[in-house]
Structure 1
Amino acid sequence: MEPASEPASSRFEEVRVSGFGDFCGAVEQRRDKTIFVYFTGDKDAEGRSWCPDCEEAEPVVLEGRKHIPEDAVFIYCQVGDRPYPRSWW
């Protein structure tokens, strides 16, 4: 699990995780906080997700981070490659 880069004006914690185990760990560590989560398919070498819906939604979701309240947490979770997600949803 690695911290993501945050917008300069961000007052919230942003965390990037990959997979169900990392996601559960991130939530457990921050269970006293308000948590916002964005689940997305893994990205290729060019930074594109295999999931077309994720590609379309991501700019809107990331823009919406500016409305996250102070002291909240935004978890950006990559769920795996195309065949993997259905096994843990």
Structure 2
Amino acid sequence: MAACEELSVSGFEEFSRAVEQHPGKTIFAYFSGSKDAEGKSWCPDCVRAEPVVRAGLKHVGEGCVFIYCQVGERSYWKDPNNDFRKKLKITAVPTLLKYGTPQKLVESECLQDNLVEMLFSED
């Protein structure tokens, strides 16, 4: 039985809707460069971090929500006025965060098992 509900969304609007649909729940979000038709992201760090983050999910408590969010094409991501940068203050991908808290891991931090586990398991 999965302890955590997992959602996969693409873009800021879908992300916002997913958050709105889970009021009062602990939400973890992983932001990654979008994937092409072959399932490969334009962001090499995101490709390397994804298995580490997925392995860390086993430390998540009951009733949490994990949102895997593709931020869009590289050109959109690089725009300093994109919604992820402006509204969520996300400055780099990959980023893993506990939504609504200051807790987050950015870029190479997402590759460290111990940091990922700590973010997922802390109350």
Instruction: Determine if the TM-score, normalized by the shorter chain, exceeds 0.5.
Output: yes
CA distance in 1, matches of 2:37, 2:12: 22
CA distance in 2, matches of 1:32, 1:70: 13
Give 1 or 2: higher helix fraction.
2
Task: Note the residue ranges of structure 1 that are not aligned, 5 or more in a row.
Answer: 1-8
Scaled by the length of structure 2, what TM-score is found? 0.62
Question: Does residue 1:81 correspond to 2:73, yes or no?
Answer: yes
Letter of the aligned partner of 1:39 in structure 2?
Answer: F
In structure 2, the partner of 1:13 is: 5
- Where do residues 48-59 of structure 1 align in structure 2 (5 Å cutoff)? 48-59=40-51
Q: CA RMSD in A?
A: 1.1
Scaled by the length of structure 1, what TM-score is found? 0.84
CA distance in 1, matches of 2:7, 2:15: 10
1:56 positional shift: 1.2
CA distance in 2, matches of 1:22, 1:45: 19
Question: Does residue 1:40 correspond to 2:32, yes or no?
Answer: yes
Question: Which is bigger in relative contact order (C-alpha 8 A, separation at least 6)?
Answer: 1
- State the Cα deviation string for residues 21-80 of structure 1 (Å, max 9, x = none): 110111111121000100011111221100111011111011111111110000000110
Task: Note the residue ranges of structure 2 that are not aligned, 5 or more in a row.
Answer: 86-123
Kindly tell me the number of residue pairs found equivalent between the two proteins. Answer: 81
SS in 1 for 2:66: strand
- Runs of at least 4 residues off by over 6 Å: none
- The share of aligned pairs that are identical, in percent, is 59
